[in-house]
């Protein structure tokens, strides 16, 4: 932050001036209720501004102040320091905030404080405010311009500090900022001139400021030729303000409050002399009139310029005559670029301006001109009558002006009498420079008046009749429409005023076309002196001789004759008189020879040679065109520019921008253009360097003005190649974005979206998606092609013919059957659009219902990626679940599977699936994707139906419930535990599901050894044994558990020893299992109580002999450990007992086959019909050692 520098005396003068333009009439009021005064302390205790060296205020950050203390003035008030702190905080907030609204509000508050409340802070924070001129928001930059204007108005010493910033703002990238900068500079120009005029002396800083302001003025004056209408309009308004500023007011001028003009500029200001300013304003006014009559001005520029010159004529009435003349010329010669509606608008605006001008007192001198012009513009008598002032007032004003002029003349005579004696003048005043000079009569005005007078003399009835007869040949048979709209009947035809008006109009037209006396005089002045004919001097004899001949006679008397002949004026050489026209064949032969010489120089063609070759090629025979084409194709890379220039020339001929040569009249220019384009593209396709082909094609298709149909076919051929597909299809996309025939190119690009090559099809779809995002108007066409043309074709029993063509990589004769590749091609664009517009998913469900089985399988395979991208939070997917058509249940199930894969279903999805299962879809497979979202009771209810499904599906059900094959990052939460699932399988009602199905389901559980660990199975068996009655499959589960986990043998045997005989049916199953697993079941049988062992031996007599053999193999010490009752039961009777079989366990006969073996070798038993059993797919292998309670698995 910089110091607040002391103001100069000039600046203090502005602050003290009550009637100046820089300060308001009343000073702003403090927030504390006191009013700041620039002249001294107020009666309420306000302090005086810090002016002068003694009044400078030092703020933190300035030189000589500590970082933590503020050097304050004696009269420094706390509110001032608070304002400074507030400004600093506001600027900091504006710098760091991202909200443009908040930034503008903070800057507005800063401006209110340092402009209206505390002007002393302006110099401190000026640079900080100017830093925002580089802000990204154009509104912020425009507000900084407003701040600069107010700052310069408050303190003129700010002007030199901001002029460099204004030049940067004039060159801003935003047109809005440029316009605002022009407006602000117009005010700064006025402020700077006022600063110079009201200062006691002009410093170097002031001179530099004035020079910089003049540079800004020159820059803005050049903007009148800008390409933008808005910039030109603001440049015109800037010129208007400068002209009014640099011209003096007049008695009849319209006056503005606190207006500053040339009257207020003293002659003592060296850098801004009044005479120079006035001369500059005259030049600017000439430029403004020139722009007003230019042939390229738009309607907006014309109306703006018209309003400016009318306003200038009202405030500077001496220019009114030139303004009226300019309006007359414009009415006759409007710019040819205007449309009919624009012509009507300009004429209406001119009429309004002239009516306003007619009310000016000075307009009485041009009453006839203005009223005649208004009549031509269609003004009615009532409108003219309303616009005219009172005639008595006009006469009184005229007499008043005459008296004023007479008094002024008398006063000037008295002044001239007093000025006879020398008068001391200021040292710096240059009297030669600023002395008023008599106005010189404008030579151009004299010539215009001369033309008018000549045409007034020519407008006799005879002359008018001759003009009409000469013009009748060019009059059309029918009256043009634009003439009818612009023509207004002549009310005062034949009157003197009308004749003079027509004379002025004719003079204006002839002068505009460089005809008439003015043009002739200009040519006359340019002639050399020796070509001017000598003037004839009349003699008394009535004859005449020249002054030159008199001189020659005198010289002949003095000097002797030398015999020299009289000098002859050389005759102009006309080429047509000394040459003969060539025949057509000779002309073509010479042109061909010249072209060959130019092309065979092996030099780079400059632009002039290129234009020459193209012009000749476009107007020559086929042989020459073919030669030039061969030359281009020999080096297509370096000579393609010549071919493109040739294309532009042919296009100009095709559009009749230029005239055709006579021999070419019978040829079609469109065919010539197409031939040229086709052969240039053929040259590119035949080019050896494959990597540069697409780059050359890009240049050929995007630079010329038109792409013919044959050229489009060649581009299709290039794009079908795998190596050039990406660039070729990008060319198609650029053509769609930048060429007029957008639908034509879009249709070709959409055709590639079903190409047989995946890369080509992928590039085409990518290009279409870019167009879909950039061109909202083409989205409907793209969606219609993707759905109605390609996606709906899947409903047909056979593929349509549009999928088979050479440029798509398929033969014209299709296979007749839908293949996976064809389905994928038809779905490619649709599935990509589905990622952008989710509502298209409903069309897929409708199409799926009507397709064949093969197509349905392909759809289910390719729909996975877009459905994953949509996610289960998509509202359109939820809507589809509520309203999918009948027959689409499979794809809906697939969608739900995809959504819930590796993630938990949402509550909304579970609720919708639950409702669908209850009301529309009774298939239990519909619940599988959302199993983890259902309640435990719902799962147990659906479990009998679920295990009846295909084993692969049942496997998936258990995987979801048990969290199998789930990644560590994937969420998993099951409402049922592995123990609960196994117990539920054992408790399934056999009336709802047969035993084989339940056995297969439990086998799948046993296969998952990571989930069903020994601990989990122990819990399962424990819970099953606690049930009453015991589950039917309990013993099978026990045996399988023992086979898988031998370490649980002690737990299982102890449990069985207590409880296995309590259920008769379970006991029978136990006995059957023991029979089939001999000799492994011997230790289990020996642990039974004596009654149960006796019962087992009675029911299965074949168990006794293995037991006897086992006991006999034991040592006496080992047999002594067994209870005597057991030994007596086993060894006491060796009779065989009959084996009783009951039909309930008949199922086990099919599943368990016993195989024998001794204890020394492995014993094997096989459990059939159990897929993926623990020991293998086909058999369960178990080996039981000699120890009574140790079971292991051997394979």
pLDDT of residue 33: 35
pLDDT of residue 145: 92
Task: Give the residue-averaged pLDDT of 600-611.
Answer: 79
pLDDT in tens, 158-182: 999 999 999 999 999 999 999 999 9
pLDDT in tens, 433-469: 444 444 444 444 544 555 556 555 556 777 777 777 7
pLDDT in tens, 965-1011: 666 555 667 888 999 999 999 999 888 888 889 999 999 999 888 89
pLDDT of residue 1162: 34
* pLDDT exceeds 50 at position 861: yes
pLDDT in tens, 102-153: 999 999 999 899 888 888 888 888 888 998 988 889 999 999 999 999 999 9
pLDDT in tens, 20-64: 333 333 333 333 333 333 333 333 333 333 333 333 333 333 333
Residue 567 pLDDT grade (very low, low, confident, very high; cuts 50, 70, 90): very low
pLDDT of residue 1149: 34
- Side-chain half-sphere of 670: how many Cα atoms within 13 Å? 4
Q: What is the DSSP string of 1162-1192?
A: --EEEETT-TTBTTBSS-EE-EE-SSTT-EE
- Mean pLDDT across the chain, nearest whole number? 76
CA distances 899 to 894, 926, 953, 971, Å, are: 9, 13, 17, 13
pLDDT of residue 528: 44
Which of helix, strand or coil describes residue 44?
A: coil
Which of helix, strand or coil describes residue 807?
A: helix
Query: Could you tell me which residues are beta bridge partners of residue 1166?
Result: 1153
Task: Give the residue-averaged pLDDT of 622-632.
Answer: 87
Alpha-carbon 333 to chain mean position: 42
Burial label, 918 (beta-carbon count in 10 A; 0-12, 13-18, 19+): exposed
CB 373 within 8 A of CB 328: yes
Which of helix, strand or coil describes residue 276?
A: helix
CA distances 387 to 231, 315, 351, 502, 545, Å, are: 34, 18, 11, 24, 62
Q: What percent of the chain has pLDDT over 70?
A: 72
Cα gap 265→684, rounded to integer Å: 72
User: How many helices (H) does the chain have, and how many strands (E)?
Assistant: 56, 7
Residue 780 pLDDT grade (very low, low, confident, very high; cuts 50, 70, 90): very high
Least confident piece of the model among 198-202, 375-379, 513-517, 1147-1151:
1147-1151
Residue 1061 pLDDT grade (very low, low, confident, very high; cuts 50, 70, 90): confident
pLDDT of residue 489: 62
Highest mean pLDDT among 80-84, 645-649, 1051-1055: 645-649
The angle, 0 to 180 degrees and rounded to 10, between the axes of the packed helices 320-332 and 367-376 is 20
In this structure, are strands 1183-1184 and 1180-1181 parallel, antiparallel, or unpaired?
A: unpaired
Q: What percent of the chain has pLDDT over 90?
A: 21
Task: Give the residue-averaged pLDDT of 827-846.
Answer: 92
SS3 content of the chain, % helix, strand, coil (to 5): 65, 0, 30
For residue 495 the two structure tokens come to 């009157």
* pLDDT exceeds 90 at position 330: no
Domain parsing of the chain, residue ranges: 1-161, 444-468+488-515, 585-707, 720-832, 837-924, 935-1012, 1016-1195
* pLDDT exceeds 80 at position 788: yes
List Cβ neighbours of 669 (8 Å cut-off, separation of 6 or more). 650, 653, 654, 660
Cα gap 43→117, rounded to integer Å: 18
Task: Give the residue-averaged pLDDT of 376-396.
Answer: 76
Least confident piece of the model among 549-563, 928-942, 1017-1031:
549-563
pLDDT in tens, 483-516: 665 566 666 666 666 676 677 666 666 666 666 5
* pLDDT exceeds 70 at position 678: yes
Cα gap 1111→1127, rounded to integer Å: 8
For residue 943 the two structure tokens come to 């479990």
Task: Give the residue with greater pLDDT, 635 vs 1175.
Answer: 635
pLDDT of residue 177: 93
* pLDDT exceeds 60 at position 741: yes
Q: What is the DSSP string of 472-514?
A: GGGS-SS--HHHHHH----SSTTSHHHHHHHHHHHHHHHHHTT
pLDDT in tens, 341-368: 888 899 999 999 998 988 888 888 888 8
Burial label, 732 (beta-carbon count in 10 A; 0-12, 13-18, 19+): buried
* pLDDT exceeds 60 at position 644: yes
């Amino acid at each position: 932050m910089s110091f607040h520098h002391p103001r100069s005396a000039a600046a203090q003068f502005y602050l003290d001036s009550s009637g100046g333009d820089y300060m308001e009439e009343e000073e702003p009021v403090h927030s504390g209720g006191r009013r700041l005064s620039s002249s001294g302390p107020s009666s309420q205790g306000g302090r005086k501004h810090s002016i002068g060296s003694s009044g400078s205020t030092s703020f933190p950050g300035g030189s000589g102040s500590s970082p933590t203390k503020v050097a304050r003035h004696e009269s420094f008030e706390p509110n001032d320091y608070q304002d400074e702190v507030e400004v600093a905080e506001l600027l900091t907030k504006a710098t760091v905030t991202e909200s443009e609204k908040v930034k503008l509000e903070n800057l507005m508050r800063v401006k209110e404080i340092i402009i209206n409340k505390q002007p002393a802070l302006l110099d401190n924070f000026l640079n900080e405010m100017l830093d925002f001129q580089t802000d990204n928001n154009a509104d912020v930059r425009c507000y900084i311009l407003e701040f600069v204007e107010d700052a310069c108005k408050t303190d003129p010493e700010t002007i030199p500090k901001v002029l460099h910033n204004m030049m940067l703002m004039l060159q801003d990238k935003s047109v809005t900022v440029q316009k605002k900068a022009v407006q602000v500079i117009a005010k700064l120009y006025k402020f700077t001139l006022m600063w110079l005029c009201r200062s006691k002396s002009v410093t170097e800083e002031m001179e530099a400021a004035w020079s910089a302001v003049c540079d800004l003025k020159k820059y803005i004056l050049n903007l009148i030729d800008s390409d933008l209408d808005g910039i030109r309009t603001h440049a015109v308004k800037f010129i208007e303000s400068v002209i009014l500023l640099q011209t003096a007011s007049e008695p009849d001028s319209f006056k503005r409050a606190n207006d500053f003009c040339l009257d207020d500029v003293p002659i003592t200001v060296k850098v801004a002399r009044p005479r120079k300013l006035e001369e500059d304003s005259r030049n600017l006014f000439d430029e403004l009139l020139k722009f007003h009559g230019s042939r390229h001005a738009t309607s907006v520029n014309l109306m703006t310029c018209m309003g400016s010159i009318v306003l200038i004529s009202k405030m500077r009435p001496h220019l009114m005559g030139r303004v009226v003349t300019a309006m007359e010329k414009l009415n006759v010669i409007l710019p040819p670029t205007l449309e009919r509606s624009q012509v009507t608008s300009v004429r209406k605006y001119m009429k309004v301006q002239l009516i306003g001008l007619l009310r000016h007192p000075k307009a009485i001198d041009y009453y006839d001109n203005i009223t005649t012009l208004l009549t031509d513009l269609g003004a009615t008598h009532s409108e003219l009558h309303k616009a005219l002032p009172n005639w008595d007032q006009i006469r009184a004003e005229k007499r008043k002006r005459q008296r004023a002029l007479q008094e002024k003349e008398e006063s000037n005579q008295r002044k001239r009498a007093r000025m006879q004696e020398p008068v001391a003048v200021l040292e710096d005043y240059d009297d030669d420079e600023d002395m008023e000079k008599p106005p010189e009569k404008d030579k151009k005005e004299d010539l215009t008046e001369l033309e008018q007078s000549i045409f007034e003399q020519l407008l006799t009835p005879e002359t008018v009749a001759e003009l009409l007869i000469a013009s009748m040949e060019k009059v059309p048979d029918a009256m043009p429409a634009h003439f009818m709209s612009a023509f207004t009947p002549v009310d005062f035809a034949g009157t003197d005023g009308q004749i003079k008006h027509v004379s002025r109009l004719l003079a204006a037209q002839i002068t505009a076309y460089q005809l008439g006396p003015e043009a002739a005089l200009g040519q006359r002045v340019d002639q050399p002196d020796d070509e001017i004919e000598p003037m004839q001097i009349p003699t008394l004899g009535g004859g005449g001789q020249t002054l030159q001949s008199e001189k020659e006679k005198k010289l002949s008397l003095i000097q002797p004759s030398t015999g020299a002949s009289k000098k002859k004026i050389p005759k102009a050489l006309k080429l047509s008189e000394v040459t003969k026209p060539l025949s057509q064949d000779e002309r073509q032969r010479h042109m061909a020879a010249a072209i060959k010489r130019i092309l065979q120089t092996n030099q780079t063609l400059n632009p002039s040679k290129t234009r020459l070759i193209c012009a000749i090629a476009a107007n020559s025979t086929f042989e020459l065109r073919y030669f030039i084409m061969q030359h281009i194709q020999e080096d297509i890379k370096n000579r393609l520019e010549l071919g493109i220039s040739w294309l532009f020339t042919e296009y100009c001929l095709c559009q009749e921008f230029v005239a055709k040569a006579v021999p070419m009249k019978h040829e079609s220019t469109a065919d010539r253009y197409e031939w040229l384009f086709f052969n240039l593209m053929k040259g590119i396709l035949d080019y050896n360097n494959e990597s540069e082909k697409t780059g050359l094609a890009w240049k050929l298709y995007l630079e010329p003005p038109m792409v013919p149909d044959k050229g489009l076919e060649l581009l299709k051929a290039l794009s079908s190649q795998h190596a050039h597909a990406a660039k070729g299809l990008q060319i198609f996309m650029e053509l769609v974005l930048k060429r007029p025939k957008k639908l034509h190119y879009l249709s070709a690009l959409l055709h590639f979206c079903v190409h047989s090559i995946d890369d080509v099809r992928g590039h085409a779809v990518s290009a279409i998606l870019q167009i879909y995002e950039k061109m909202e108007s083409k989205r409907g066409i793209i969606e219609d092609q993707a759905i109605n043309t390609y996606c709906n074709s899947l409903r047909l029993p056979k593929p349509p013919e549009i999928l088979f063509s050479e440029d798509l990589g398929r033969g014209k004769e299709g296979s007749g059957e839908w293949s996976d590749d064809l389905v994928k091609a038809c779905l490619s664009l649709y599935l990509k659009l589905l990622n952008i517009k989710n509502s298209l998913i409903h069309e897929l469900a409708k199409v799926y219902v009507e397709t064949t089985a093969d197509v349905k399988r392909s759809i289910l395979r390719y729909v996975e990626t877009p459905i994953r991208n949509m996610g289960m939070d998509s509202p359109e997917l939820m809507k589809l679940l509520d309203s999918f058509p009948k027959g689409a249940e499979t794809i809906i199930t697939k969608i739900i599977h995809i959504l819930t894969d590796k993630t938990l279903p949402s509550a909304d999805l579970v609720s919708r699936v639950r409702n669908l299962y209850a009301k529309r879809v009774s298939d239990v497979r519909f619940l599988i994707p959302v199993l983890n979202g259902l309640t435990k009771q719902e799962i147990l209810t659906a479990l009998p139906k679920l295990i009846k499904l295909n084993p692969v599906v049942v496997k998936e059900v258990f995987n979801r419930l048990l969290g199998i094959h789930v990644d560590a990052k994937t969420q998993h939460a099951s409402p049922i535990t592995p123990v609960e699932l196994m117990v539920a399988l054992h408790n399934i009602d056999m009336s709802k599901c047969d035993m084989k199905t339940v056995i297969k389901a439990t086998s799948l559980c046993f296969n998952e050894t990571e989930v069903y660990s020994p601990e989990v199975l122990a819990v399962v068996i424990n819970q099953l044994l606690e049930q009453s009655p015991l589950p039917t499959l309990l013993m099978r589960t026990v045996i399988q558990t023992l086979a898988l986990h031998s370490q649980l043998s002690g737990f299982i045997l102890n449990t069985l020893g207590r409880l296995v005989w309590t259920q008769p049916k379970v006991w029978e199953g136990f006995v059957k299992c023991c029979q089939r697993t001999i000799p492994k079941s011997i230790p289990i049988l020996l642990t039974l109580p004596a009654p149960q062992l006796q019962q087992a031996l009675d029911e299965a007599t074949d168990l006794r002999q293995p037991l006897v053999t086992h006991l006999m193999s034991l040592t006496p010490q080992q047999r002594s450990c067994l209870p005597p009752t057991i030994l007596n039961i086993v060894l006491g009777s060796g009779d065989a007992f009959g084996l009783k079989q009951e039909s309930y366990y008949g199922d086990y006969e099919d599943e368990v086959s016993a195989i024998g073996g001794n204890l020394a070798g492995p014993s094997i038993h096989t459990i059939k019909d159990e897929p993926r059993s623990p020991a293998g797919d086909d058999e369960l292998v178990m080996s039981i050692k000699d120890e009574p309670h140790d079971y292991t698995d051997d394979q």
